Amino acid sequence: VVVEAMSGEPWHPFVMWTIEQGYFGLENLALIPGYVGGAPVQNIGAYGVEIKASCERVIAVDVTDGSERSFTREQCAFGYRDSVFKQVDAENPRDRFVITRVQFRLSRRFTPQLSYGDIQNELAAMQVPTAEVRARDVANAVIAIRSRKLPDPAVIGNAGSFFKNPIVENSVAEQIKENFPDLRPYKFGEKSKIAAGWLIDKCGWKGKRIGATGVHAEHALVLVNYGGATGAEIWSLAQAIRADVQAKFGISLDAEPRVV
């Protein structure tokens, strides 16, 4: 089934609505803050699922001439936390396209995506047998995990995960693992994805506070504004973290939110 949503719809209520209607595919993306229109820009993802798997079409206005543009999934050029809407070049200046609505191709048949251990553990704690899991169970598990680990931006200022998980050669991951046996890289082909939060934690930043800025105590990937911090101060904190990770592991972290 193809569902079209306007870009200003809050994301989490939209996800829960699709589940109630019996349309499946977005349940792993529950409780991500933001709006429908922002989902394809970032190619948001969580717990083994990314928007690119269900995004059918994105409709936007080209601000250079006011025309309406329609982007297929392929034309969106989805990548890891990336899309054509984030890419800037001579042909596509920043903010050229304003997304107005998004179409999602969902399924009436539920196929659980349970590859992440956190979800499996949460379902076990909820006493939900794997063979009987429903989409609402997966969403509830994700909501519980995110509520414990991530601060609510309505309560304490944050932009969610601030850094992308770096992708490195397998040899680099294996070399790090020799010195840090608790590293759990995700291997695919000749590459490995390393948790940026793990790198930051190993550099001693988890829970550290500098003035009105800091790193969340429960999730090292989240930078927080305790109140009154400027954007420059948050960026200064981010740069200090990047420098430490580079010095300790030889890995450069890229910011996930767009910084202007």
pLDDT, position 246: 97
What's the pTM value of the predicted model, to 2 decimals? 0.85
Read off the amino acid at residue 154: A
Question: How many degrees, rounded to 5, is the angle at CA 174 between CA 206 and CA 254?
Answer: 45
Catalytic residues: 81, 161, 256
Alpha-carbon torsion angle 139, 140, 141, 147, nearest 10: 110
In whole angstroms, how far apart are CA 85 and each of 9, 26, 92, 95, 203? 19, 21, 9, 8, 33
* Each residue's pLDDT expressed in tens, for the chain with a length of 260 residues: 999 999 999 999 999 999 999 999 999 999 998 999 999 999 999 998 999 999 999 999 999 999 999 999 999 999 989 999 988 887 778 889 999 999 999 999 999 999 888 999 999 999 999 899 999 999 999 999 999 988 888 899 998 899 999 999 999 999 999 999 999 998 889 999 999 999 999 999 999 999 999 999 999 999 999 999 999 999 999 999 999 999 999 999 999 888 87
